[in-house]
Amino acid sequence: MKKLLIAVALALAPLPALAQTAITLPIAANAVADLGNGPTKVRMIAGNASIFTSQGSGVGSTSGASTALTLTATPATAPIVGGLISGAGITSGTTVTAYNGTTGITLSAAMTVVGGTAVSWGAACPSTPPSNVIQASPQAGYYVMYTQARVCAVSPGGPVNTLLVEPIFYDQTTPNGSGGGAVASVGSSDGTLTISPTTGLVVASIALGHANTWTATQTFPNNSLTLAEFPTLGANTMIGSVAGGTPIALSQAQQTAMLNLATSALQGALPAWPNNTTTFFRGDGSYQTLNCAALTNGAASCSTDATNAANITSGTLPPARLNGLGALVNSLGGDVALNNTSNYFDGPSVAQGSTGTWFASGSVVLTDTVGSGNILCKLWDGTTVIASGDGNPQSANTLATVSLSGFLATPAGNLRISCRDTSSTSGLIKFNATNNSKDSTISAFRIN
């Protein structure tokens, strides 16, 4: 619970008791008698009466030190002249000396009451009593009315009711006839409470705008707090504790440090990166350099591609692997005239570049339009001859085929098949004698 401190203003100096005053209420049913201002003590001598209080309240202020108190609105219950009035800044025992019927109250002494001050006062006893009354009887002792409101009594009818009314200046119930004195007003010295009114029927509540101190563990009903009621947090933080104790807003680094490292049985974070390009994360949760000897193809070097043909000393390379090494195919799109018996003329060719080792294979269809011919052909890169052959059409417009293949590393130029008719200038390399447009074709693929 919040620590609550209530300051009680006490009338410290005991005063002599006043003479007791007996009041006889009228016989008329429900007649009301005004017993004056509290605090007071009332005792039934005869009959049966009911006791209650009457008060009003409002908000008002003075203009500096003044007897004129101005209310912010006409009160529902008017103050009674001669009644006590109380509030912050109003001296205890101050009475109302005049009331203008709306918002003007004249105080019995000049004082400063700041704007917005809640005040309360004694009011005239109403002709119809409230439902909440004290049923007094001669069998009881004094009814002590610790209030600065107006004290009233009502006769329910029947025989004469006699009340003994005594204003309280000291507590006569103590053995020696003197005691601690009456409470004049109640306040909150450290501001933890809001008290209104400060006299009469006092209501105290926790001051929500005050920074209160909790000295005991608080228990809240289930689901009574929402996330919106918690303090705001910085971005990318969460509530937690690293070393125990009071929760704090954890940073991202603190959150990460609290995570378990992943194991074979537990999900979690990976170890910190080694920040290099030579190690790999292994299944046992560690970073290790690649162990070449542990590879299936132990003969391969870690620095080269194990699928490179140069790294394979035995066995066969699957066709599917060969297909992915860069296959090239090209066919003639028209006949090539062999019109100079001293020169080779280029037939089908591919532009493979000068990197790697290549396997090339192709064929050309040859003819001579005049008569028989002797046509020489070679597979080469423009510099180095890979393979060569001879085609001999037997008569005019007959066909002969020459097929060539071979390997060449780092070609100096495009791989091609070139031919020379040594017998006449009427020879041809055909492109579509078969009507398939693939008569003279070369294929090449890189093997390393």
Q: What is the mean pLDDT of residues 80-93?
A: 92
Which one of 193, 215, 237 terminates a domain? Answer: 215
Q: What is the pLDDT of residue 29?
A: 60
pLDDT at 129 over 90: no
Query: How would DSSP label each residue in 135-199?
Result: EE-TTS--EEE--SSEEEEEE-SSSPEEEEEEE-SS-TTSTTS--S--EEEEE-TTSSEEESSSS
Is 200 in the same domain as 335?
A: no
Which one of 166, 185, 215 terminates a domain? Answer: 215
Residue with tokens 């004249």, as numbered in its chain: 106
Which one of 195, 215, 235 terminates a domain? Answer: 215
Residue 429 in domain: yes
Count other C-beta atoms under 10 Å from residue 246's C-beta: 5
Q: Beta partners for 240?
A: 248
Domain of 399 in residue numbering reads as 327-446
Are 86 and 148 in contact by the 8 Å Cβ rule? The answer is: yes
Q: Beta partners for 116?
A: none
Tokens of 326: 């860069």
Residue 270 in domain: no
Structural domain count, the chain: 2
C-alpha to C-alpha distance for 107 and 66, rounded to whole angstroms: 8
**Alpha-carbon distance values, 275 to 254, 270, 288, 406 (Å):** 22, 14, 12, 47
Residue 306 in domain: no
Residue 73: pLDDT band (50, 70, 90) is very high
Residue 308 in domain: no
Are 237 and 250 in contact by the 8 Å Cβ rule? The answer is: yes
Are 56 and 77 in contact by the 8 Å Cβ rule? The answer is: yes
Residue 117 in domain: yes
Are 362 and 443 in contact by the 8 Å Cβ rule? The answer is: yes
Residue 246 in domain: no
Q: What is the pLDDT of residue 168?
A: 62
Count other C-beta atoms under 10 Å from residue 410's C-beta: 12
For the chain, what is the mean pLDDT? 80
Q: Beta partners for 95?
A: 84
For residue 320, the surrounding DSSP H or E stretch is helix 319-323
Residue with tokens 């190690």, as numbered in its chain: 279
Residue type, 197: P
CATH at 432: 2.60.120.40
Residue 233 in domain: no
For residue 255, the surrounding DSSP H or E stretch is helix 252-257
C-alpha to C-alpha distance for 344 and 418, rounded to whole angstroms: 6
Helices and strands in the chain: count of H runs, count of E runs: 2, 31
**Greatest mean pLDDT range, 25-39, 89-103, 184-198, 264-278:** 89-103
Residue with tokens 């070609």, as numbered in its chain: 411
- From the list 152, 190, 162, 160, the residue with the least C-alpha distance to 52 is 152
Q: What is the mean pLDDT of residues 348-365?
A: 94
Q: Say which range, 76-90, 139-153, 316-330, has the weakest mean pLDDT.
A: 316-330
Is 46 in the same domain as 169?
A: yes
* E strand spans, 396-446: 399-409, 415-421, 427-430, 441-446
Q: Say which range, 25-34, 91-100, 397-406, has the weakest mean pLDDT.
A: 25-34
Residue 85 in domain: yes
pLDDT at 83 over 80: yes
pLDDT at 306 over 60: no
Q: What percent of the chain has pLDDT over 70?
A: 77
